[in-house]
Homo-oligomer: A and B are copies of this chain.
């Protein structure tokens, strides 16, 4: 099977990249992951920066908690502890759920086997760090390295396509500051003082100061140090 699966994965990705609605993405993922034993899916955007890791759920489907019921987004957020691991994850990982005496126990494993719900969690990174993740789960899953790779490929493209469709073409938060302001803040984050920045950009010290004040006001923060953090978080300047 695996000799074919790689090619199928590539075809799925290409189809997903061209998808024009979420349903198309979903059916592609189902068609690819189904034969590998996966029948539960979650796709969401995330951020390591926010207080709430989980930002918005694009797609949730299947009997995630083994109680025979489908799960809605809120429930998933509240109950699934797997998502917490994505903050430390650097690449896709398999997990398994074992039912113990004191509730469910989720563990990260090399290759899940046996009874219970297992799954693959695929973190998705971008210029800002963690940007989202896809979880795939099932009871009898193909947990080979081959499956990890191909599912990872499909999951990443599914996330990117879903975000493209659901979050609009481009309009995000990276536009609160004007160009000059971003520039001044970038130099500030680089360790330059107001006088130095003024010299670098050919401005008066006063202007740099005024820019910084306006930046603080715009970002709604009290100090320049905090402005750096918020700007990084918003993608205004690079970390």
Contacts and interface: CB of A to CB of B under 8 A. Distances in A.
Interface in A59-107: 87, 89-91
B129 A127 contact: yes
Contacts of A30: none
B14 A145 contact: yes
Contacts of A191: 221-223, 225-226
Contact of A232 (B17, B91, B229): B229
A48 to B, nearest CB: 4
Interface stretch (A5-13, A33-41, A203-211): A5-13
A189 B228 contact: yes
Interface string A141-165: 0000110011001000000100000
Given A17-B145, A228-B229, A128 B239 contact: yes
Contacts of A225: 188-189, 191, 224-225, 227-228
Contacts of A7: 2-4, 6-7
A23 interface: no
- Counting contact residues on chain A (CB < 8 A from B), the size range is 35 or more
Contact of A153 (B49, B89, B153): B153
Nearest to A127: B129
A203 B146 CA distance: 50
Interface string A175-208: 0000000000000111111000000000000000
A149 B14 contact: yes
Given A126-B129, A232-B239, A149 B13 contact: yes
A12 to B, nearest CB: 10
Contacts of A90: 126-127
A167 to B, nearest CB: 13
A58 interface: no
Contact of A228 (B3, B127, B145, B228): B228
Q: Nearest 3 CB-CB pairs, A to B?
A: A191-B226, A125-B125, A6-B6
13 contacts: A6-B6, A10-B150, A48-B238, A51-B190, A90-B127, A127-B130, A128-B239, A149-B153, A189-B226, A190-B226, A191-B222, A191-B225, A233-B239
Given A3-B7, A4-B7, A192-B222, 17 more contacts: A2-B10, A6-B9, A14-B149, A48-B127, A48-B238, A51-B190, A128-B129, A129-B129, A129-B238, A149-B153, A190-B229, A191-B225, A193-B222, A225-B227, A229-B232, A229-B239, A233-B239
